[in-house]
Amino acid sequence: MPKGGTMKRIFFTIFLLVFYTNCFALIGDVDDSGDVDLKDAIIALQVCAGKSALPLNLNADVNSDEHLGIEEAVFAIKFTGEFVDEFTLSSIAISGGEILDSYKCETKVNGVEASIPLSWSNVPDSAGSLAVIMHSYPNPSDTSSVNSYLLLWDIDPSVTGIAHGEADDGNWFMGANKDGVGVSYTSPCSPGAGTHEYTITVYALSQTPSSLPNESTTDVDYSALKTAIDTVTTLGTATLTFNDVTE
């Protein structure tokens, strides 16, 4: 039989194990994997539906009701989201929410204007293709009328940006310009005084829409590209909205 000192060490070790398990257990970790992720949310929802036969970690209880269910699912989803890097879009041509004068009214060279420089990060891992749309509404109160300035598709998801003037020279396809008469970018160039809003969106898609041609063409306008994007799964979008201010 163990001596007194040994017994004390054994009891102390058991105490530490119990203390650690109860005080430092990761709440939300429904499957007791050591991490809180979307799998925990799925299992918690299965518990709600009475369809989970997996061993469960009751220490994952987030609201001390001694049950696992919808609260744990919501917690796992929110917890996971906090550690997912946001898909973002930026441009060195934009400062303080306004496009810099040097990027307005670009001079045409061989009928082509230099496109706005773009940079994006944290494309969803499962994306199979990217598309880009730059648009504005001539009348902000009427969104049925749209002007498009940049239309791109079939961009490899490994691409993280487009340099100034390079939108028409990449390994992807381009649609019609604002006037629909050429395959090119159209730079903001407001003819009169006022503030005009523009939005650029990068779409992370499950795949390149099969309805889109494998060539650059004026046949693809804003409506055609948007309609095609709606035929596949959009895994995420990164947007950049800015103003063209003319005094």
Decide: 224 and 116 in contact? Cβ < 8 Å.
no
Contacts 24+ apart (CB under 8 A), 53-58: 56/30, 56/31, 56/32, 57/25, 57/29, 57/30, 57/31, 57/32
Same domain, 52 and 172: no
Shared domain for 104 and 226, answered yes or no, is: yes
- Read off the CATH number of the domain in which 159 is found: 3.90.280.10
Of 211, 184, 212, 202, nearest to 239 by C-alpha is 202
Domain ranges, residue 219: 88-246
Query: Using one digit for the tens of pLDDT, what is the confidence trace for 219-232?
Result: 999 999 999 999 99
* 244 within 8 A of 99, measured Cβ to Cβ: yes
- Look at residue 208 in the predicted model and tell me its pLDDT: 98
Instruction: Tell whether 96 and 73 lie within a shared domain.
Output: no
Q: pTM of this prediction?
A: 0.69
Same domain, 121 and 35: no
Question: 30 is written with which tokens?
Answer: 């429904």
**Are 119 and 202 in a shared domain?**
yes
Residues 72 and 13 in one domain: yes
The domain boundary residue, chosen from 46, 61, 82: 82
CATH number at residue 26: 1.10.1330
Return the amino acid letter for 228.
A
- Say yes or no: 126 and 15 in one domain: no
Q: How far is CA 30 from CA 56, 78, 207, 217, 231, in A?
A: 6, 14, 33, 52, 36
Q: What is the pLDDT of residue 15?
A: 43
Same domain as 95, residue 61? no
Q: Of 82, 106, 130, which residue sits at a domain end? A: 82
Cβ–Cβ under 8 Å, residues 243 and 97: yes
**Structural domains counted in the chain:** 2
Choose one of 64, 82, 100: the last residue of a domain. 82
- Which secondary structure element, helix H or strand E, spans residue 131, and what is its range? strand 129-136
Question: How sure is the predictor about 90, in pLDDT bands with cuts at 50, 70 and 90?
Answer: very high
- pLDDT per residue over 109-154, tens digit each? 988 999 999 999 999 988 999 999 999 998 888 888 999 999 999 9
The pLDDT value given to residue 22: 41
Is the domain of 113 the same as that of 61? no
56 and 97 fall within a common domain: no
